[in-house]
């Protein structure tokens, strides 16, 4: 039997009214939602296409050639990278591993014009370089605006613009995946926290800008992990700002150098060996010709594996620098920050159960063979670097 239920007219009208109001409210929310999500501060591009249009004119491609007369098989090496103009006089920022040591540097602008570039200076440690092209006789060069990387938050949208695999003026989109990230096994890991992003960074992207939603440069794309997907890194622009004056004035950054490689004594190592290891910096190797080597500091003699990572044991353990205990990277970083070339350092270390002290005069750090070798994204060929060394979160080999 069918049952028919009659509704009161007033109830029907009320139901229709409520439904209409809900539909109207939903329409307002749906209309406002995307606009609210895309809302940017005043003066910022309203959309990604507008952002690209604003920034891309200052982004350029770089092709460079180096000649090695001692390598018959690969005498000529060609690399491709990116860069961006930061001054109307033709000053360009890029990565050191794109242009440092190259005999020929050519720049192709957004309008297709190709110009020779003059090398100004480079810092292979932080992977920052400056080159210059002549300004045009008519008009002015477009310039990228530098932002403030200290204000970045994890989860914010970022955009990488560059020339991956020679595909000029390509834009990829992602977010800030992490801040203050350290690449593994690098000489600068005490002082160079990087921006991690999932915006695609491929060979050819190196030296290009990483920009925020306002189109301001907050980093220089510098590396990725080839074995991973969407794990890329950029040098924070605030760090770049600090380096630029040195490159303009001297063509390089002058750093004090002791010449040791190693890592801090980890609790896992003490537990594994069950030996009375002192806290400090375990010297695994000394750089040939370094002040440390000349003063007789000793590196490791045999290798063991701890949590899948190699450790060279048997070397000296540096416990103090100028009377300050060295037990953590932060402490070492503060001490090194107060030193300069020519500083006399009182170095205390443990060896064979005894404590010894020597005085060492720090010298200027030379360009080392591994500088820049752990970066990737610049050249194809050579094969991508960036995976060598120790993964973040494990024991890291430090150099200073």
Which member of 123, 127, 316, 371 is catalytic?
A: 127
- Residue 131 zone, left/alpha/beta (φ > 0; ψ -120 to 50; rest): beta
Alpha-carbon span 372 to 100, nearest angstrom: 10
Burial class of residue 349 in the structure, from the number of CB atoms within 10 Å of its CB (0-12 exposed, 13-18 middle, 19+ buried)? buried
Determine whether 149 is an active site residue: no
Q: What are the strands, taking DSSP E only, across 204-327?
A: 209-211, 217-224, 232-236, 256-257, 260-264, 281-286, 302-306, 309-313, 317-321, 324-325
Which member of 96, 97, 189, 316 is catalytic?
A: 97
Radius of gyration in angstroms for the set of CA atoms belonging to the chain, rounded to a whole number = 27
Mode of pairing for the β-strands spanning 317-321 and 281-286? antiparallel
Nearest to 97, CA basis, from 375, 386, 385, 384: 375
- The angle at the Cα of 399, spanning 100 to 382, to the nearest 5 degrees, equals 35
- Residue 250 DSSP SS3: helix
Burial class of residue 181 in the structure, from the number of CB atoms within 10 Å of its CB (0-12 exposed, 13-18 middle, 19+ buried)? middle
SS (H, E, C) 343-378: CEEEEEEEECCEEEEEEEECEECCCCCCCCCCCCCC
Determine whether 157 is an active site residue: no
Determine whether 127 is an active site residue: yes
Which member of 149, 177, 189, 206 is catalytic?
A: 206
Give the residue numbers marked as catalytic: 97, 127, 206
């Amino acid at each position: 039997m069918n049952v028919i239920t009659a509704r009161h007219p007033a109830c029907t009208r009320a139901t229709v009214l409520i439904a209409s109001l809900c539909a109207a409210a939903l329409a307002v929310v749906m209309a406002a939602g995307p606009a609210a999500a895309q809302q940017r501060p005043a003066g910022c591009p309203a959309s990604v296409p507008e952002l690209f249009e604003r920034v891309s004119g200052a982004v350029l491609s770089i092709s460079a050639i180096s000649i090695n007369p001692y390598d018959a098989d690969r005498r000529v090496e060609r690399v491709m990278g990116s860069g961006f103009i930061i001054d109307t006089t033709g000053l360009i920022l890029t990565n050191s591993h794109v242009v440092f040591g190259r005999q020929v540097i050519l720049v192709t602008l957004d309008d297709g014009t190709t110009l020779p570039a003059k090398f100004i200076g480079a810092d292979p440690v932080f992977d920052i370089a400056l080159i210059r092209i002549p300004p045009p006789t008519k008009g002015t060069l477009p310039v990228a605006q530098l932002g403030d990387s200290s204000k970045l938050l994890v989860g914010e949208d970022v955009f990488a613009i560059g020339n991956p695999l020679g595909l000029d003026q390509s834009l990829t989109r992602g977010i800030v995946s992490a801040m203050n990230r350290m690449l593994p096994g690098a000489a600068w890991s005490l002082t160079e926290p990087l921006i991690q992003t999932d915006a695609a960074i491929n060979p050819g992207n190196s030296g290009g800008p990483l920009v925020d939603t306002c189109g301001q440069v907050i980093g220089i794309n510098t590396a990725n992990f080839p074995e991973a997907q969407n794990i890329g890194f950029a040098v924070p622009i605030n760090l770049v700002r600090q380096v630029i004056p040195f490159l303009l004035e001297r063509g390089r950054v002058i750093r004090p150098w002791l010449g040791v490689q190693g890592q801090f004594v980890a609790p896992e190592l003490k537990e594994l060996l069950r030996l009375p290891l002192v806290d400090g910096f375990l010297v695994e190797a000394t750089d040939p010709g370094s002040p440390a080597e000349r003063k007789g500091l000793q590196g490791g003699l045999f290798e063991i594996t701890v949590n899948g990572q190699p450790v060279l044991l048997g070397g000296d353990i540096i416990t103090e620098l100028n009377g300050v205990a060295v037990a953590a990277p932060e402490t070492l970083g503060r001490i090194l920050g107060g030193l300069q070339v020519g500083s006399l350092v009182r170095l205390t270390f443990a060896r064979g159960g005894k404590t010894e002290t020597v005085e060492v005069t720090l010298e200027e750090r030379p360009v080392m063979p591994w500088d820049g070798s752990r970066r990737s994204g610049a050249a194809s060929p050579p094969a991508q670097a960036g995976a060598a060394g120790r993964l973040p979160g494990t024991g890291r080999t430090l150099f200073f």
